[in-house]
Structures are given as structure tokens and as C-alpha cells.
Amino acid sequence: MATVFIILCLLLDYLTLMQGAKILTVCLIGGSHYMLMDEISHSLHQSGHGVRMLLQLGNPVVTGLDYAGRPNSYDLSTWSPGESYIEEYNGWFLVQQKEFLLGRSNFSGFLSFMGHLAYHCDLILSDSALMASLRRESFDMAILDAFNPCSFLLARFLDLRYVAFYPGALSGPVSIGLPSPLSYVPAFNSELSDQMGLLGRVKNAVFSLMSPVAEQLIHQRFRHVGERHFLSLPAMSDLYSQAELWAFNTDFSLEFPQPLMPYTVLVGGLLSKPAKPVSQELEDFIGRYAEAGFIVVTLGSMVSSVPLEQLLSEMNAGFARVPQAVIWRYHAPQWPAHVPPAPNVKLVEWLPQNDLLGHPKARLLVTHGGQNSVLQAVYHSVPVLGVPLFGDQFDNLVRVTAKGLGLALKPTDIHSDVLSHTITTLITDHRYQASAQSLSRIHRSHPHPPGQRLVLWVEHVLQSGGGAHLRPASLQQPWYQRCLLDVALLFALLAFGLLGLGVLSFQTYDGRSKLKQA
């Protein structure tokens, strides 16, 4: 009888999966984070699942990005912290963007950003009507943007199983127990490649020791949220380790080779697609420059409208010196009135980056080094000039240079002559194009595209009743056990004990010898 009951339960689970699961996707940050979660939500919907995205509105405004979701696709629930706070928050963020462009990115600013996310989190979990409506949906699974710790607290608050999607590389600031030999796996923010000399390994060890401290400082920003909304305060590290699966927006065309665990999946390139034709306006502009081709310039969804006159003037003068057309994403009303754009520069509010990079006359991508932009360049085999501003962009561009895909310039090093010379080098030196084509072949050679790959893994977790079979015992061990420090301590005690016995035996033997001689 028990066997029949188990079979019926398994059959019911299978039929539920065949009919499609109910999945909640959580996006509490805008910009590129939304674009990724939108793609994931749409892919799950196309595979027959019922999907609802919880989207927080009011993050720094991104001109041209439609937050309305996709017609005839997934459902959307939105939440906002209120107009007055949004205005204050966006003002603060504009100041931060200027600091990035001046080369003054620092950890203190990142902690302030996390403080804002924690404040949002407290407000979201306090919205009883929203939480009640999500509970009534009885979701089978949640897909979280793992960059924001609030996503994990929300999933725990709703008592949902969850898959964590991290929008960056494997060496992100989130520690999830992956094996990371320090001799060749760079720590987050170390700006190292996998080829390290002695000083590089010393630096890597120092950054690795600092990482847990930095992670704890980030988690402290969310402590009051846990205290207010949970009877038993969950540790963020525990919430990370309880994810059924971890998916990363990267793959080994760009990533340095390193050990993985069964619960990690690489799905880099979700926003990379075969190119569609660009508008006639853009095509006409490109056509005026014949075989010289064109350059795509975009410094990310959050810093395309920062009025920093000196940097803009130097970039504009540098672009004027090259023969290519330049399509530059920038909010035109913020452009300095007394700095006319160069004749070969076209400013646009929004550009179809994927389609432009897939155009046969695309010659170069000038980017802040965001993971999505770099992966699209890899997909379409376009060399990269990186201008890192904050976060993981410095490490991303180390990978770009190490792989031969391009070069990087700090914002403070951008002068018209340096910029034009670097662009000319990247376009005329065929080694960069050859590396881009090689990386593209690797990137495209997967048997399943990234969106389908993620869907298949999510369905595997749903069908198998969770991801417990993928998680090793090490995730439940204290850090000192994982590092075998208790074993090392035991060996040390035994060694000291044996040494002490040896010394004592020698002293006893020496004393007896002296007595006999006396």
C-alpha cells in the first residue's frame, strides 16, 4: 500500500511538471539585472511554465528601457518605495555615477548602496498585501537575482524553494563554497588573471582573506531586516547554501578554468542573440563610412546620462580622430551645449546593442565592462575597449585582456590621443579579431543556448524534488572543518605531544646516566 502511495505521489509530481510549474522570478534591481530576469522569465514561459515576476520600480531611471514586461508572456507584479524616496535615491546615485567616472569607486560607496537595498527590503517585506497575494499563488519555485541579498530573505519569508541566478562571473562577492585554489583562481576584485607570479599569489591570498570580512559587512546591512521579519534570524550564508541550484551568467569562453560543484551551472550569454536588421536611420549613418565600419559606445545602463564635461570632451575628440562611425548611447539633453559632437559621432538615447554588434561592419565595442556587454561582444566576435567604472567590471576586463579580446583604459587615463591610438590598435591589429573569433566559436559551441540550458536545469530540480542531491556535505560544515583546521590542530597537538614525550624521555635517560656516573 505504501509503495502504491509513493508511486501515485511521484506520478502527480511528474504530471504537475508536464503541465508547467508556477514560478516566481524576483528582480529588485533595474537596468541590466531586469533585462536578464526578463529573459529568464520569458524562457520559462515559453517552456510552458506559469511565471510571475516581482519587479521593483523606482531604481535609477534607464532611458529607453521598457519595464512593462513582454506581451503574451509572463505576468508582472510591481512594487515601488514611493516617489519622494525615489527622487532622493536617484539623486544619491547620480553622485555615485560621477564618482565612478572620476575613477573613485570604493567599497564604502558599495556598502551605502547595499544599505539602500536593505531599506527597500524592509519596506517590501512590510507590505502585507503584496506578501499575501504572492503567498496565494502557491509557487513551486522562485528564481532569484542573487546579487541582492533581499531576494533570499524574500524567498524565505514566502517559504519557497529557490534557484539563485548570479548575474556575473564565478568570482563574484558571494561565497557559496566553490573550491578556489588560490594559486590560479583569482579572488573577487583582485584584478588578477589565472597566471600569477609570487607577488600575485600573495595579493590573491590577501584578497581571499579579506573577502569573508567584506561579505559580513554587506550582510550586516540586512541584519535589521531579518530581526524585524523573522522569529529566528536566518544567516545569509545559510540562505546561500540552501539554494537548490546556482546559475552564473558566464561560461568558459570568458571565464578562467576552475573547479565547479554539481550545484553550479554556467548560462552566460542570455542576452546574446542572432542579430536583427537595425533601423534605416542607423543603417544610413553606418553606410556613410563604407568599409571603415563603426564603433559602438555604451558605458552601461546607469551611466549614460552623467554630465561630466572633461571626460566627454576627451572622448569626443578621440573619436573625431578615427575613420570609423561612432554610435554612442548618451542622453542628449545632458550633453554639454558648447561641445559639438564630432561629425562621425551619432548620439542616441537607446541603441540595439546586440543587433549592432552582429552587424557585419561592427569593428569595436567601447564598454564599461559589464558582463552582458562583454558576452555579447564574444558572441558576435567583436573586440573590446573597456573603461571599468565599478564592481566586477575591473575583473571582467582583466579576463578580456587575458583572453586577447581587447584592452582596458581607466576613466582617468582617457585623453583624446590615447583613446584614438588604442582604438586604432584594436581595429588594425588582427590578433584581437582572431581572438574574438576563437572565443566566439567556443561560446557558441554549447549544444543548448543559455536560456534553454537554465530551463532544463530548473526542470530537473523540479522533477527530482529539489537540489539536495547536488549539494555536497561541505555546505553544512563550519569553515574550519572545510579547511581541515581541526585536523591540522590535532596533528599539531600530536606532534607537540610526541616531541614533549621525546624531550621528557631524553631528560629522564640523561638524569639516570648522570646518577650512574656519580
Place of cell 579547511: 483
140: in domain: yes
Do 204 and 134 lie in one domain? The reply is yes
For 199, the grid coordinates are: 607577488
**pLDDT at residue 12 in the model:** 52
Q: 199: buried, middle or exposed (CB in 10 Å: 19+, 13-18, 0-12)?
A: exposed
Q: 335 or 54, which is more confident?
A: 54
**What does the pLDDT look like over 177-202, one tens digit per residue?**
888 899 999 999 899 999 999 999 99
> Does 306 share its domain with 431?
yes
Res 480: pLDDT: 81
Give me the mean pLDDT over the 469-497 stretch. 86
- Same domain, residue pair 452 and 438: no
Helices (H), 409-474: 416-428, 430-444, 450-463
Residues 420 and 454 in one domain: no
Q: Are 392 and 32 in contact (CB under 8 A)?
A: no
In this predicted structure, what is the pLDDT of residue 299? Answer: 85
Nearest to 376 by CA among 253, 249, 272: 272
DSSP tag of 74: -
For residues 160 and 70, membership in a common domain is answered with: yes
| Contact criterion met (CB below 8 Å) for 185 and 258 | yes
Asked if 223 and 328 sit in the same domain, the reply is no
pLDDT at 139: 97
CATH for 318: 3.40.50.2000
pLDDT of 450 above 80: yes
Residue 228 lies in a domain: yes
Span 204-233, pLDDT tens digits: 999 998 988 889 999 999 999 989 999 887
Say if residue 464 is in the same domain as residue 411.
Answer: no
Give DSSP secondary structure letters for 266-300: E---TT--PPPPPPHHHHHHHHTTGGG-EEEEE--
User: Does residue 214 sit within a domain?
Assistant: yes
* Same domain? 211 vs 101: yes
Give the pLDDT confidence score for residue 389 in this predicted structure: 85
Q: Residue 433 domain-assigned?
A: yes
* Window from 82-91, 131-140, 311-320 with minimum mean pLDDT: 82-91
Distance of CA 517 to the CA centre of its chain: 77
Of the pLDDT bands very low, low, confident and very high (cuts 50, 70, 90), residue 305 is: low
Whether residue 509 lies inside any domain: the answer is no
Note the pLDDT of residue 109: 82
Could you read off the pLDDT of 382-407 as tens digits, one per residue? 999 999 988 889 999 999 999 999 99
What's the rounded mean pLDDT across residues 300-314? 71
What pLDDT is stored for residue 153 in this prediction?
96
Interval 42-69 mean pLDDT: 81
Asked whether residue 511 is assigned to any structural domain, the reply reads: no
pLDDT computed for residue 64 by the predictor: 56
Residues 250 and 196 in one domain: yes
Domain of 6, in residue numbers: 2-270+448-476
What's the confidence (pLDDT) of residue 84?
A: 83
Query: Which of the two residues, 17 and 91, has the higher pLDDT score?
Result: 91
pLDDT above 70 as % of the chain: 91
Cβ contacts of residue 363 below 8 Å, gap of 6+? 292, 293, 294, 295, 324, 382, 383, 427
pLDDT digits (tens, 9 = 90+) for 418-427: 999 999 999 9
Residue 512 has pLDDT above 90, yes or no: no
**Rounded to an integer, what distance in angstroms lies between the CA atom of residue 458 and that of residue 435?**
33
Give the torsion sign (CA, 51, 56, 58, 63): negative
Which residues are CB-neighbours of 297 under 8 A, at least 6 positions away? 315, 319, 326, 327, 328, 329, 366
Which residue has better confidence, 13 or 266?
266
Tell me the range of 105-114, 262-271, 503-512 where mean pLDDT is highest: 262-271
Going by their DSSP bridges, the two strands 345-348 and 50-56 should be labelled as: unpaired
Do both 228 and 164 map to the same domain?
yes
Helix axes 198-220, 107-126, angle to 10 degrees: 30
Q: What DSSP designation does 196 have?
A: -
Residue 408 has a pLDDT of: 96
| Residue 19 placed within a domain | yes
| Tally of domains in the chain | 2
The chain-wide mean pLDDT, for the chain, equals: 89
Q: 91 lies in a domain?
A: yes
Last residue of one domain, picked from the residues 424, 443, 462? 443
Say if residue 250 is in the same domain as residue 327: no
The pLDDT score that the predictor gives to residue 159 is 96
More confident residue, 191 or 9: 191
Q: Flag whether pLDDT at 149 surpasses 90.
A: yes
pLDDT number for residue 383? 98
Mean per-residue pLDDT for 405-434? 95
**454 and 435 housed in the same domain:** no
Bridge partners, residue 164, by sequence: 144, 246
